[in-house]
Amino acid sequence: MNQTHNAELVVMGNKTLGTLDDRLYGQFIELAGRCVNGGIYDPGSPRARADGVRTDVLEALKAQRPGFVRYPGGCATAYFNWQDLVGPVSERPRARLFRGHGGQAQSTAFGIPEAWALSRELGAELYLCVNANTQSPEDAANLVEYLNSSQPTQYADLRRAHGREEPYGVKLFGLGNEIYGQWQPGQKTAAQYAEWCAEAIRQMKAVDPTIRVAVCGLGRPDPEWDRTVMFRLIGLADMLSMHNYFGRPCFEDLMAASRVCEKFFRATDQIIDEAMDIPLGAHSRAHRELGALPEVTRRPGIAFDEWNLWYRSRHGTPHDVEEVYHYADALALASLMHVILRHAASVDLANVSLAVNTIAPILTDRERMVCQTTWHAHKLIRDAHDRGRVVESVADAPVFKAKHERFFCGIVDVEKARDENLSTLEHFDDVQALDALASISEDRRALRLSLVQKLPDRPLDVTLDLHGLVPASETMTVRRLARDGDVWTENTLEHPDRVRIETATEPFAARFTLPPASLTILEIPIKGEPQ
């Protein structure tokens, strides 16, 4: 056995970082690749119901308990007019050519009503992305009228003509997707996009003032984009949407993904804080360019509505951008979720990208389905940190050196990954071996700890120090991400259970050992609310 290293974990039960909400655990179904068509919706599969939805995929999604479902994209948003995704299937265009993923035609049979029904079946909200690239602000407002109005108006009547009297009541909308990118039809500058959004939000909220709207941000790659957008839209937009993907083909580097994500959130929070000065008149351009100062009743939040690991893939139809994830990826994903939850005070919603097949935790063929390693890690964190509040925890553990891209820059070539001098890389000398997240349950009866141990070949002895928390039992529930093999072990259609969740009841102890390269969840009964 290799030498054990020591760590200390201090949990401060009286210092709240944020409140846990179902919207922090979203899923994303895009009309791209085999996510919807050939994944969730596959009428030709023996696993499909009469409506074409695969029951095995549905059950795997239910187990994740998503707070919302994002649809129809992603990049696919720019290819679909909402009018083509409603009404009788026989009257919709048969398919749209989505040029962004191998030129694959995407059926319109699984449209907005079907996505809404799936969301309800999952116990989730529907988060609709509006085509801000090639449709108009009026189209966006007409969509809200179609979905949410009870008035005797044109688009509410169109919904009724399509067989639904009651409004759908969709409350979450995103305006476009990565509209700054040359890969999107109808690419716009930040100023052009902000003007489009200003008009769209006014019209959309005139129809339904209770909706919440996210607008496209860019983050660390171009903070000036975000400054331009937020300057124009403060007081109108409810959320700033951010995207990033992570990953490196080296274990230590992969474990540094959370450090990059942390910097991503800090940079975005700073932009939003700057925008909050505009209603005070502190911004030198506010009076001159906005006329009257905007009214802001709530600080805009972050919509982290595309994130995942994506650094190697198969390309070309029908398996375009389909990752097979390793056990190491599952640890990295858990650590990324920790970052999101630590920022629960400013993150309004977050969803992993995507749900099925395309860079997804679920893979299928026509007859089989497998829950990948990352599915199990996501479920462990989701179940552990359900409702309640995140509290501060501080780890003192061994550190190691690692490197990672500053932000997503495409597929990482294995040979190029050995180059230490790439300008895209950020180097870290102090990646902590222990990444912990602590939360207290909504009923105030349990402390939940999720612990990612990032040393690949050494156990870690952890001393737990609880401040303001008193254990109420001599036992605790322990859930672990178990594996058959090394850190590059995969779950495949042929071998679906190499990585799995194992649960045990063990004696509570303030000192315990974490295995090398591991994800462990501890649920410790406590004596009510900390003082």
380 and 441 share one domain = no
SS3 of 253-291: the string is HHCCHHHHHHHHHHHHHHHHHHHCCHHHCCCCCHHHHHC
381 shares its domain with 448: no
Angstrom distance (rounded) from CA 126 to CA 120: 8
**Which of 192-196, 291-295, 299-303 has the lowest average pLDDT?**
291-295
Whether residue 57 is predicted with pLDDT greater than 80 in this model: the reply is yes
Q: Residues of 268-284 as b/e, b for ≥16 C-beta within 10 angstroms?
A: bbebbebbeebbeeebe
Give the pLDDT score at 2: 59
End-to-end CA distance of the chain: 42
pLDDT of residue 101: 60
Q: What are the residues whose beta carbons fall under 8 Å from the beta carbon of 424, sequence distance 6 or more?
A: 405, 406, 409
- Does 529 score more than 70 pLDDT? no
Task: Quote the CA–CA distance of 58 and 56 in Å, as a whole number.
Answer: 5
Sign of the Cα torsion 27, 28, 34, 39 reads positive
Give the pLDDT confidence score for residue 354 in this predicted structure.
Answer: 95
The answer as to whether 510 is a domain residue is yes
Instruction: Determine which of 218-222, 280-284, 470-474 has the lowest per-residue pLDDT on average.
Output: 280-284
The burial of 423, by beta-carbon neighbours within 10 Å (0-12 exposed, 13-18 middle, 19 or more buried), is given as exposed
What does the pLDDT average to over 430-447? 97
Domain with residue 114: its CATH number is 3.20.20.80
Torsion of CA 156, 109, 214, 152, to 10 degrees: 0
Which tokens hold the place of 322? Answer: 């389909």
Which residues lie below 8 Å from residue 72, measured CB to CB, with a gap of 6+?
29, 30, 31, 36, 80, 85, 112, 115, 128, 129
Whether residues 353 and 456 fall in one domain? no
CA 117 to chain centre: 21
Give CA–CA dist 430/452, Å, rounded.
16
Distances (CA, A) of 260 to 297, 407, 423, 428, 492: 31, 7, 15, 10, 29
At 85, phi and psi to the nearest 5?
Answer: -115, 15
Do 368 and 505 belong to one domain?
no
Whole-number pLDDT of residue 421: 87
Does residue 475 share a domain with residue 377? no
514 has pLDDT over 80: yes
What is the Cα–Cα distance from 121 to 137, expressed in whole angstroms?
31
428 within a domain of the structure (yes/no): no
Q: Does the residue 206 lie in any domain?
A: yes
For residues 272-280, average pLDDT: 92
Contact predicate 480/42, CB 8 Å: no
Predicted confidence (pLDDT) at residue 452 exceeds the cutoff of 80: yes
CATH number reported for the structural domain that contains residue 511 in this entry: 2.60.40.1180
Res. 261 pLDDT band, cuts 50 70 90? very high
186 Cβ contact list (under 8 Å, min separation 6) = 78, 132, 133, 134, 179
DSSP reduced 3-state for 206: helix
Q: Does 348 share its domain with 437?
A: no
Q: Check whether residue 346 and residue 486 sit in a common domain.
A: no
Q: Are residues 182 and 288 in the same domain?
A: yes
Nearest Cα neighbor of 357 from 319, 328, 392 is: 319
pLDDT reading at 531 higher than 60: no
Residues 369 and 442 occupy one common structural domain: no
Comparing CA positions, the residue from 154, 235, 167, 241 lying closest to residue 202 is 235
Percent of the chain with pLDDT over 70: 97
pLDDT for position 316: 67
Residues 320 and 235 in one domain: yes
* Res. 43 pLDDT band, cuts 50 70 90: very high
The count of domains in the chain is 2
Q: What pLDDT digit, counting tens, does each position of 163-194 carry?
A: 999 999 999 999 999 999 998 889 999 999 99
Q: What pLDDT does residue 221 have?
A: 85
Q: Average pLDDT in the 338-344 region?
A: 98
30: in domain: yes
Helix (H, G, I), strand (E, B) or coil at 7: strand
- Return the amino acid letter for 251: F
In a domain, 423, yes or no: no
- Within this chain, do residues 153 and 240 fall inside the same structural domain, yes or no? yes
512 Cβ contact list (under 8 Å, min separation 6): 461, 462, 464
Summarize the confidence of residues 115-129 as an average pLDDT: 98
Prior bond of 39 cis (ω within 30°): no
Q: Rg of the chain over CA atoms, in angstroms?
A: 23
Q: Is the link from the previous residue into 496 a cis peptide, with omega within 30 of 0? A: no
* Model confidence at 410: pLDDT above 90: no
312 confidence band (pLDDT: 50, 70, 90): confident
Q: Is the pLDDT of residue 1 over 50?
A: no
16 occurs within a structural domain? no
DSSP labels for 339-401?
A: HHHHTTTTEEEEEES-SBSTT-SEEE-SS-EEE-HHHHHHHHHHHHS-SEEEEEEEEE--EEE
Choose the final residue of a domain: 329, 356, 386: 386
Q: Which domain holds residue 459?
A: 5-10+393-398+433-525
**pLDDT at residue number 100:** 65
User: 352 and 450 in one domain?
Assistant: no
**Nearest 5°: CA angle at 288, between 284 and 290?**
100
What pLDDT is recorded for position 99? 74
The verdict on residue 406 lying in a domain is no
